[in-house]
Amino acid sequence: MAGVNAATGEQLRAIARLRWLLFVNSLRSVRGRLNLVSRSIAGLFVVAAGVGGGIAVGAGAWAVMMENRLVWLAGLFWLIFLFWQMFPVMATALTQNVDASVLLRFPLKYSAYFLVRLIYGSMDIATALGLCWCTGLFFGISIARWTLIPWALLILVIFVAFNLLLARTVFAWIEHWLSTRHSREIMGVIFLLMMLSIQVSGPVLGRFGSRPSAQRLRVLSKYAVVERAFPPGLAAAALSDFAEGRGQGAILPLALSVGYVGLVLVLLDRRLGRQYRGDNPSFGDKRQDLSNLAAVRRGWRLPLFPTSVSAVFEKELRYFSRSVPMLFTMIMPLVVIFVMWGGRRGLLSSQAQFLFPIGAAYSLLIMTNIVYNSFGGDGSGVQFFLVSPVPFRQVALAKNLAQLSVFLMDVFILWIGIRFIYRPPNLRVSIFTFAWCLFAVPLNFSAGNLLSIYSPKRIDLATFGRQRASEATILASLAVQITGVGLGALAIYIGKLASTLWAGSFMLFGLAAITIPGYVLLLQRMDRFALQRREVLAAELFRT
Amino acid sequence: MEPAILTEGLTRRFGDFTAVDGVHLLVVPGQFYGFLGPNGAGKSTTIKMLTGLMSPTAGRIQILGLNLATHPVEVKRQIGVVPEGMALFGRLTGSEYLNFAGRMYGLDRDTAAQRAAELLDFMQLSDQPKTLITDYSHGMQKKLAMAAAVIHGPKVLFLDEPFEGVDAVASGTLKSMLQRMTSHGATIFLTSHVLEIVERLCTHVGIIHNGRLVAQGPIDELRAGVSAGGRQTKITLEEFFLQTVGGANKEAQELSWLG
């Protein structure tokens, strides 16, 4: 057994080397090289957002310190905290969790496993930007008051540790909770309650917004006590205390911050510890239903479509319904509307009508993974499509129909949400949104079908953070979506110029007259594309 | 009678490497054909080309008299395939998958549902109707893949390592089903590493080595070897296989640390 208990450091080095070799070997293929280019371009955006955001946050912190408006410090900490924790969930297309559980077959020590999960899990955009912004915050504070350098450093290290651990903990636990049908149902109820609470909170906040400003300030100061009970508020409170020379007063918020880090560490340790001992999440229920032979139910039938299209459509919807991360993502447009909403007198209240097209555009954006990598979730099942006598265009059509159903359902939920939070979108805006969808959906589906065949990547629809398509696909899909949204914005502008939104809608109907035949034309060529790419499709999606 | 499978000069190159080199296969209807070869010999590449999963660099493939390159859909309608990856959709239940497979092969909804129920029962998979395929054991997945491949009653069945990871009971079930199919005129083309199974089931074998078909014929003829004294003697398929591919045992002396 000599050598089995290799040192943890050696194991970590081996894993790092493995990842490096995987990266180097990926460059052998054209797709791998394209991914590197895409990653570099995306990296530029991340660097810009990191540096730009860091400078902005730093300037904000500097101004707060110079003008001695320390109460605003909490805002900066909350901004970083909310982005760090919410971005990975809201933009799963840009987030990826590395499945480190495959390493458990090796004699990996728990400490090494924990570190690997933490380090590789933290290699995402949210962490990179969060770290940049925290650095900006540190420099802003330090330049304004150099005497605060050690305290700012200490507080920010604790804050960063908390965010790193919390992000991993949330993913680890959600993954676990969603692994069984029972807990999925509980989570479903929680989501439902969340949606209801959004509707209830509308009138409450509206009433609050109509109060006199003195009264609002009094209420806000009451809630500030609550805010200070959480890590961003605690970090800001500790820093304010040090800045005002009340070092002793900072001890409690500092201690509580450390306590939060400890709590999150324990929670993460509990989950990873169980995973390490073999309790890995699976998207299937291990239930043993020993009831007697159940007659096999007949499949669904889509009127006007061949049986094969109905069969694939049914299969796709069953897949979506069993992917809770996908369902979770679907309610995100509502959450975004809530986040953007600042009450009836808030940021968007004057333009509330346009929340409907904005929400529809976001609904299409969050479908990137399933539209632009539509075979990714099938894994080796794609071989079945390739050996079956069904033309590939029918498979693609069925997948698009299923995606369209999900999109329409999402838009419908959105409409309900907007109707309750604000008022029903008026006819002009509804027609405008319809026209935009008529133009943008075929555009996205056409590009999605092509990229699904030319840049496939095996994904796990059932596990949080493992739905990301290839980098090349993400970049191309973003380009298509920016075009779609840009033309939508242009249509609004034209509507404003013409003093009627109908002009914008007319323009979008015109564009739809191009994208719909384009989609049909492309669909007819899908058999040829699939034939050309069948080996890559089968090989890429068979890969584990 | 048209051959069930006929290839002429079937070749596949990957860059400079020739995985399959001018293979001429002939399998007549009703044959149980075992396709053998050491690892990396070109078995899976050949079966992928025969089932339309991979295109040949050169050569022609004819299945049941139809050219695969020009009539892919017509060919696929008449064949069943259990490929290397089993081609399962992990997040469907067994019955949902069979139902889906039946309809993809053109069965109407009632027939697909009825055959799915019968196959689940035959394969002893019907006692877990709500279990997702991903939670099936490897053997259960193999049985399900096999059920999906035969649901439309194919005339030719291609099986890539069908018995790998399958227990003796399940293996018996599969074998009886395959034998029943050949007795009704279906052709079966399988690859396997387990020579005992091939010896027991197959009527004909082909052996591929370094991409070339080095032997092909009825199994009894191939096993009729010649002893040192020049007398006709019957050898096992394993002996014939090792003679043909030159499988000398590598001494393990370098691995002294294994003890």
Contact A353, A383 (CB under 8 A): no
The residue ranking higher by pLDDT, A416 or A461, is: A416
Q: Are B215 and B245 in contact (CB under 8 A)?
A: no
Kind of pairing, strands B5-14 and B58-63?
A: antiparallel
Residue A294 to residue B74, Cβ atoms within 8 A: no
- Residue A326 to chain B, least CA–CA distance (Å): 14
Name the minimum distance, in Å, from the CA of A345 to any CA of chain B: 47
The minimal CB distance from B103 to the residues A295, A311, A319 is found for A311
Residue A220 pLDDT level (bands cut at 50, 70, 90): low
* Binary contact (A384, B88; C-beta < 8 A): yes
CB contact under 8 A, B108 and A307: yes
Residue A301 clears pLDDT 90, i.e. is over it:
no
Residue of chain A whose alpha carbon sits nearest to that of B121 = A293
Q: Hey, are the CB atoms on A389 and B84 less than 8 Å from each other?
A: no
B233: closest CA of chain A, how far (Å):
43
Percent of chain A exceeding pLDDT 90 equals: 33
Q: Please answer yes or no on whether B131 and A308 come within 8 Å at the CB atom.
A: no
| Secondary structure class of B81 (helix, strand, coil) | strand
Residue A448 confidence (pLDDT): 95
Answer whether residue B245 shows pLDDT above 80.
Answer: yes
**pLDDT range class, residue B30, cuts 50, 70, 90:** very high
Q: What share of chain B is helix, strand, coil (3-state, %, to 5)?
A: 40, 25, 35
Residues 447-486 of A with CB under 8 A from B: 461-462
Residue A231 · residue A80 · CB < 8 Å: no
| Tokens 């790193």, residue located | A164
Give the per-residue pLDDT at A185. Answer: 58
- Of the segments A109-113, A361-365, A443-447, B234-238, which one has the largest average pLDDT value? A443-447
In this predicted structure, the answer to whether residue A474 has a pLDDT above a threshold of 90 is no
Q: Which one is predicted more confidently, A26 or A193?
A: A26
Residue recorded with tokens 């005129």: B185
Cβ atoms of A494 and A507 closer than 8 Å? yes
Q: How far is CA A423 from CA A55, A313, A360, A418, A485, in A?
A: 39, 34, 16, 6, 24
Our CA-based measurement puts residue B226 at a distance from the nearest CA of chain A, in whole angstroms, of 43
pLDDT at A399: 95
Considering only the beta carbons, identify the residue of B81, B86, B91 that sits closest to A319.
B91
Q: Tell me which residue in B106, B110, B121 faces A298 most closely, judged by beta carbons.
A: B110
Contact B89 A301 (CB under 8 A): no
Give the burial string for A275-292 (b: 16+ CB within 10 Å, else e). bbeeeebebbbeeeeeee
Would you call B131 and A318 a contact, using CB atoms and an 8 Å cutoff? no
- List chain B residues with CB under 8 Å of A314: 100
> How many angstroms separate the CA atoms of A481 and A444, rounded?
7
Q: Name the CA radius of gyration of chain A, rounded.
A: 26
Q: What is the rounded average pLDDT of the residues B103-122? A: 90
Q: Is the pLDDT of residue A1 over 80?
A: no
3-state class of B102 per DSSP? helix
pLDDT of res. B226: 57
Residues constituting chain B: 259
Say which residue, A213 or A450, is predicted with more confidence.
A450
**At B210, is the pLDDT very low, low, confident or very high (cuts 50, 70, 90)?**
very high
Greater confidence (A397 vs A201) lies with A397
- Mean pLDDT is lowest, of A275-289, A439-453, A480-494, B78-92, for A275-289
Quote the ipTM score.
Answer: 0.78
Chain position carrying tokens 């960063």: A160
Contact B195, B13 (CB under 8 A): no
Residue B108's closest chain A neighbor by CA?
A307
- Indicate the angle between helix axes A501-524 and A392-421, nearest 10 degrees: 160
pLDDT surpasses 70 at B251: no
8 Å CB contact between A35 and A23: no
A100 DSSP 8-state letter:
G
Residue ranges of A 497-526 with Cβ closer than 8 A to chain B: none
Q: Sheet holding B79-82: strands in order across? A: B79-82, B156-160, B187-191, B32-36, B204-209, B212-218
Its pTM surpasses 0.80: no
- Nearest CA to A63 among A231, A55, A129, A135? A55
Question: How many whole angstroms separate alpha carbon B54 and alpha carbon A440?
Answer: 35
Give the CA dihedral A173, A178, A180, A181, nearest 10 degrees. 150
Domains of chain B: 5-246 (3.40.50.300)
- Inter-residue contact A164 to A84 (CB < 8 Å): no
Q: Which residue of A has its CA nearest to B157?
A: A387
H or E element: which one contains B205?
strand B204-209
User: Which CA distances in Å does A458 have to A469, A478, B82, B182?
Assistant: 8, 20, 20, 37
Closest C-alpha among A148, A96, A160 to residue A125: A96
**Interface contacts (A, B; CB < 8 Å):** 159
- What's the confidence (pLDDT) of residue A59? 94
pLDDT tens readout for residues A411-452: 888 888 777 777 788 889 999 999 999 999 999 999 999 999
Cβ <8 Å between A389 and B100: no
Q: Which of A195-209, A331-345, B53-67, B75-89 holds the top average pLDDT?
A: B53-67
The reply to whether residue A384 touches residue B90, judged by beta carbons under 8 angstroms, is no
Per-residue pLDDT for B247 more than 80?
no
Residues 292-331 of A with CB under 8 A from B: 292-299, 301, 307-308, 310-312, 314-315, 318-319, 322-323
Determine, for residues B89 and A282 on separate chains, whether the beta-carbon distance falls below 8 Å.
no
Mutate to test the interface with B, among A28, A30, A283, A296 (most CBs of B within 10 A): A296
Query: In sequence order, which residues have a C-beta less than 8 Å from that of residue B81 and are 6 or more positions away?
Result: A383, A387, B51, B87, B149, B157, B158, B159
Closest-CA residue in chain A for B78? A389
Whether A293 shows a pLDDT value over 50: the answer reads no
B-facing residues of A in 161-180 (CB < 8 A) are none
Tell me the pLDDT band of A289, cut-offs 50, 70 and 90. very low
The DSSP call for residue A496 is H
Q: Which residue of A has its CA nearest to B49?
A: A535
pLDDT at residue A99 in the model? 62
Half-sphere exposure of A264 (CA within 13 A, CB side): 23
Picking from A289, A319, A379, the nearest residue to B130 by CB comes out as A289
Average pLDDT over residues B245-259: 66
Amino acid (1-letter code) at residue A246: R
Name every chain B residue with its beta carbon within 8 A of the beta carbon of A180. Answer: none
Residue A332, token pair as written in the block: 């995100």
Summary mean pLDDT of chain A: 81
> Which residues, in sequence order, are CB contacts of B217 under 8 Å at separation 6+?
B204, B205
Q: Which residue has the higher pLDDT, A500 or A542?
A: A500
Q: Alpha helices, DSSP H only, in A455-500?
A: 471-497
Pairing of strands B212-218, B224-226: unpaired
The helix or strand, by DSSP H or E, that contains position B63, with its residue range, turns out to be strand B58-63
Q: Are B117 and A293 a contacting pair at CB < 8 A? A: yes
Residue A202 has pLDDT above 60, yes or no: no
- In this predicted structure, what is the pLDDT of residue B163? 85
Count the Cβ atoms, other than its own, within 10 Å of residue A14: 15
Region A322-343 average pLDDT? 65
Q: At what angle do helices A427-454 and A471-497 cross, to 10 degrees?
A: 160
**Which has the minimum average pLDDT: A121-125, A530-534, B73-77?**
A121-125
> Is A322's CB within 8 Å of B91's CB?
yes
pLDDT of B146: 92
- By C-alpha distance, the chain A residue nearest B50 is A387
Query: In this complex, which of B76, B113, B116 lies closest to A387 when CB atoms are compared?
Result: B76
A189-209 burial, b if ≥16 CB within 10 A, otherwise e? eebeeebeebeeebeebeeee
